[in-house]
Copies of this chain bind each other. A is one copy, B any other.
Amino acid sequence: MAKRHPGLSERHRKIMEFLTKFQETHGYSPSIRQIGDSINVKSTSLVDYYLNQLLEMGYIERENRISRSIRVVQPVKAESELPGKVAEALRIAGNALSDLVRIPIAGRIVASAPLPMPTSDLNYYDAESSVDIARSLLPTRDVSDLFALEVSGDSMIDAMVNDGDIVVMKKAASANNGEMVAVWLDDKDETTLKYFYKEATRIRLQPANPNMKPIYVEDPKSLRIMGKVVLVIRQIKSVAG
């Protein structure tokens, strides 16, 4: 095959597509070996060989001895990708911006102390920390009296809530049956998360863990509802690559 100015071979094209796509999704360039994998070539030298050709032809640029330094000069794309992708991107964009809610983290929730409540109503913006939540995860459209707490310690374990979890709550002083609430128990001097059930003569506080027994409160006054739990989020750390 006489090789002059003419077009790219199948391999060249594949490499260019891979480079473009990889950059797009990862934000940096692939290594030689990764490129090799993408075109089923095990030899790094062969990839180098093609890369030099592409370089010569002006499709890419790279620096000597610098990892992942390939730049795509002339993007080669499968045309079918673009229109749909842009459209999709725009669709998401439209939804996304309005569908994200920033919820202030009011503090930490521990068993031994009452709930920290958000200082004022609307200090969302200067709150030291906050969580962003997709609105679709929230049960209510009204976001104004939501706040979040970070769980400290293992004391909420019977609510299936662990140290480090974030609970999103809605301010409330009363609750309906079946809702999960944060309550302060005067008798025990502690804050706890339980499912709330008002029964005929008493109130039943049911742990989320079905293996555990409920607490019964005879006197409604010895129990103070602080809020309703709306969402629990647990981020598992140390997951990177």
Q: How far is the CB of A123 from chain B (nearest CB, A)?
A: 12
Asked if A188 CB lies within 8 Å of chain B CBs, one says no
Asked if A229 CB lies within 8 Å of chain B CBs, one says yes
Given contacts A88-B125, A99-B97, contact A67 B64 (CB under 8 A): no
Interface size class of A (residues with CB under 8 A): 35 or more
- Name the residue among A27, A68, A166 with the largest chain B CB count within 10 angstroms: A27
A97→B89 contact, CB < 8 A: yes
Total identical chains = 2
Q: Mark A211-241, 1 if CB is under 8 A from B, else 0.
A: 1000000000000000011111111111111
Q: Which residues in window 26-81 of A have CB below 8 A to B?
A: 26-29, 31, 61, 63-71
- Select from chain B the residue with minimum beta-carbon distance to A162: B160
- Select from chain B the residue with minimum beta-carbon distance to A30: B66
Task: State the A residues within 8 Å of B (CB).
Answer: 1-6, 25-29, 31, 61, 63-71, 86, 88-90, 92-97, 99-100, 102, 105, 125, 128-137, 139-142, 144, 148, 150, 154, 157, 160-162, 164, 166, 170, 176, 178-180, 208-211, 228-241
